[in-house]
Structure 1
């Protein structure tokens, strides 16, 4: 890996982290200026930079969440399908290794993969979740991406960082009034992103379930938040049916099989999700203490408003 070009590095969450990671490893790295929907501009930039590797994390997830995609379907297709294929296709024409940070939110528990069974979806299983248009576009593009011999597709799920980034799964559910309590595969970025860099360096291609092994529930995540970040925090649950009443599109819940990932990343530390999450919250606590946020300056929006509460810290 001699030179890296990142799509989604300027404004994207994962792309920005990968840019920093490349810098820390002394890798020559550039953030792309071209829009992935503009094939000619992407081609010109690839020819100008001449990277050995491309990290593709650009895409539309919607703001504040993927419900945005339900009402903006042409825009979502233009970026998540056409734009992603532009980058993969142009990289393949030039013999450039391309890593696409995709999603594992293309499955839902079913009869062959029951909730709580420990039977995860493999890289070969066909997507079975089309509840949201965002996930639907990802299901369209993945079978096409895997046809490119220079492309590696990493299925990220519910990504989590060591801070209170608005993009982190922890931050999102900590702000909800109620959460569902379903075990899911998740991606702890501190462990998995360095692994993705090493995988790209090795020239791995094809699809990988890019999550920590095992599953963790929403309640388990928030219990760790309460343990390490805010002991006064409270949360409550509701059912999937109740959740769907307030969303434009249902959400994917599943377990992904990580056998292939662990086999091809031997020697790279990837902890099971329960261990990885505990370590993540330990790092988060230290980071927030260093920033002066803990113990007394946690933003008010993280004080859960259970049962009509004010959001203020609870009295002990």
Structure 2
């Protein structure tokens, strides 16, 4: 596999695009922890000459692409910033993949699994998950639309591993982009089981995937699905016994958001084949999120109360 230097004498050298982003920051922490050699790219990915300059300057064996636009405060932003979304999520991503391909460098692309939605062929609670080979069926948001397009195009590059991230979760229950933080802040949530990505467990595996030279598409989630209510019940169990919330329907939710949201279960046979130790979603949540939260319950309780303004 072009770009996989780990079987030879060369030490892997990682180059991170998206250095100021959430996943980019977490990758830096993980690579430091591993004692790995890495650099931070300065180029905007849609600027091909700048990308080439970074590649030539740092001479990576592996590129980690954690850049792109998800929108602030959420994906609704992309509905009114379509050109910016195209530049970052389509042109930039393809430019970086192309430059890496021409130089035989492995690229890991942190994409999204929010390009699928439950339907008649994949019903809720059926246990049937979308596979890596399935064609995306959700383009309800412009964000998901661009991500589905770039996934379809980038799979032609034999040096790229695309990781489908979903509803990413970390241990910090006050970090604004943490999926759990988002639903804790709401008075009302929908209650649909979804595949999710527990980053403390999965991100280190993504670095190992890069070292192994894996390519193609990988559903990058923990096995199984968990509902919003089940997560909030865990929060109630581990942190705040008095915590309350209520549910509303997808139709009611649609009245307070601009773009529809994706809900799905992704098949995890491929990632489980590579990492048999990967925990099911509920076990992973307990180990990597709620048990650490319970260990500092008073601190977490106070921080969440302040965040919610109550």
TM-score (norm: length of structure 1): 0.91
Match of 1:88 in 2: 97
Give 1:293 deviation, angstroms.
Answer: 2.1
CA distance in 2, matches of 1:264, 1:298: 36
Match of residue 209 from structure 1: 219
Structure 2: gaps of 5 or more residues: 1-5, 7-11
Matches within 5 A, 1:157-306: 157-164=166-173, 165-266=175-276, 269-279=277-287, 280-286=289-295, 288=296, 293-302=299-308
- What does residue 56 of structure 2 align with? 47
Contact 1:199–1:265 (CA under 8 A) maintained in structure 2? no
Deviations 1:16-71 (A, max 9, x none): 11111111111111111111121110111001100010100101000000000000
| Number of positions where the alignment pairs a residue of Structure 1 with one of Structure 2 | 298
Report the secondary structure of 1:293's partner residue: helix
Q: Which moved more, 1:74-83 or 1:227-236?
A: 227-236
Deviation at 1:225, TM superposition (A): 1.2
**Partner SS for 1:95:** coil
**Mapped contact 2:293–2:300 kept (Cα < 8 A):** no
Question: What does residue 74 of structure 2 align with?
Answer: 65
For residue 84 of structure 2, the aligned residue among 31, 52, 75 is 75
- 1:23 maps to 32
Q: Deviations over 1:178-232 (max 9, x none)?
A: 1000000000001110111111110000000000000000000111111112222
Quote the offset at 1:261 in angstroms.
1.1
Partner of 1:306: none
1:150 equivalent in structure 2: 159
The aligned counterpart of 2:115 is: 106
Displacement of 1:285 in angstroms is 3.2
- Larger relative contact order (Cα-Cα within 8 Å, sequence gap ≥ 6): 2
| 1:265 positional shift | 2.7
Between the aligned partners of 2:301 and 2:246, the Cα distance in structure 1 is 23
Aligned alpha-carbon RMSD (Å)? 1.3
Judged with a 3 Å threshold, the aligned counterparts in structure 2 of structure 1 residues 297 and 145 are, in CA distance, closer, same or farther, namely closer
Q: Which runs of 5+ in 1 are unaligned?
A: 303-310
Equivalent residue, structure 2, for 1:122 = 131
The SS at the match of 2:299 is coil
In 1: Cα distance, 2:25 partner to 2:110 partner = 13
- 2:180 and 2:201 map into 1 onto residues whose CA distance is 16
CA distance in 2, matches of 1:131, 1:145: 21
Give the aligned partner of residue 14 of structure 1. 23
- TM-score norm. by structure 2 comes to 0.93
Secondary structure of 2:164's counterpart equals: strand
Please give the secondary structure, in 1, of the residue aligned with 2:217: strand
Contact 1:149/1:205 (CA < 8 Å) preserved in 2?
yes
Quote the residue 1:308 is aligned against. Answer: none
Equivalent-residue separation in structure 1 for 2:263 and 2:202 (angstroms): 20
